[in-house]
Amino acid sequence: MTDETPETTTGGEPLIHGTLETIEGRPALRFERSLTHPVDRVWRAVSVPAELGSWFPAVVEWTPAVGETFDASGATLEVTEVDPPRRLAWIYAGQPQSFELVAEAGGCRLIFTHVLDDHVLAAQTATGWEIYLSRLDPHLGGEHLSEEVAHEQWAEIHERYAALFGVDPTPGRQFAAALRTGQ
């Protein structure tokens, strides 16, 4: 692969390339992506339940409002910060997550951060977020990238993250195998 040819997902979008950082002593995934849509449009996509359902891993029925809590896929989600249309943060299963939107020429920059409990699952978690975030741009453009198509390169993306982060790929491989067999 040359520098002139970016890696792409099955849907043709550039891979997002998350990074592994440390926030308050905990491992954290950070994804940044420039989008060709204004902040207000992207804000709707990250905060309105009907829009989230088109690209995010789970639909959440929220306002969102600071202090709002509810069950989301068997874990508690608590909204901790809402600053429309710039920042939305919550804690899900004890792990802080946030969207930050920054206006830039031709659109906006989206920064998604997920603070983890342990770096062991960093590659698996990064792969999941990369796949879901790869569905956002088509959604913003009025298209739909199915979850199935977006997941076609899961194994390849996971292996890249495991190598990049220096983590054992086995847990992610086992997770993917269990999903394929319906366990």
pLDDT for 107-164, tens place per residue? 999 999 999 999 999 999 999 999 999 999 999 999 999 988 988 989 999 999 999 9
Within 8 A by CB and 6+ apart from 10, the residues are 149, 150, 152, 153
Q: How far is Cα 11 from Cα 161, in angstroms, rounded to an integer?
A: 19
Cα–Cα distance between 108 and 129 in angstroms, integer?
A: 19
* Predicted confidence (pLDDT) per residue in 89-100, tens digit: 999 999 999 999
Strand locations in 26-106 (E):
26-35, 69-72, 75-83, 87-92, 95-104
Give the three-state DSSP class for 36: coil
pLDDT surpassing 80 at residue 10: no
Rounded distance, CA 145 to CA 19, Å? Answer: 24
Instruction: Please name which of 60, 56, 58, 61 lies closest in space to residue 135, comparing C-alpha atoms.
Output: 56
Residue 168 clears pLDDT 50, i.e. is over it: yes
How far, in Å, are 11, 27, 30, 108, 166 from residue 117 at the CA level? 31, 7, 15, 29, 17
- The 10s digit of each residue's pLDDT in 65-85 is 999 998 888 889 999 999 999
Asked if the model's pLDDT at residue 15 lies above 80, the reply is: no
Instruction: Tell me what the pLDDT averaged over the chain comes to.
Output: 89
